[in-house]
Amino acid sequence: MFKPVNRHILVDLDQRSDEQKSLIVLPEDYKPEQQKHTVVQVVNKSDDVKFDLSTGTKIVVDSSMIEEIVVNNTTYNVILENYVVGVLAP
């Protein structure tokens, strides 16, 4: 299990994409415009994160600041606490 440190939060990207089949053929390297903020779910957090977050909490973060880390063929997504802009109520 990956344990984040140094004010990082391990997150699971919210997979609620509304992908629709397009009748238009697009290049393989085409990526749709990403929104500035996205909702992610907390998996684990560093002990020195300054606000209270529990596993499963949904937070709003700056999409461009999510770091993808690959260790032993496992991908982890982490974000620094500075880029959390809000916590969604359960």
Question: What residues does each domain of the chain span?
Answer: 1-14+35-90
User: What would the pLDDT profile of 8-52 be if each residue is shown by its tens digit?
Assistant: 999 998 654 444 455 777 788 877 677 899 999 999 999 999 999
Residue 6 has pLDDT above 90, yes or no: yes
**What CATH number does the domain located at 1-14+35-90 have?**
2.30.33.40
Pull the structure tokens for residue 17: 């994409």
pTM of the shown model? 0.79
Q: What would the pLDDT profile of 55-86 be if each residue is shown by its tens digit?
A: 999 999 999 999 999 999 999 999 999 999 99
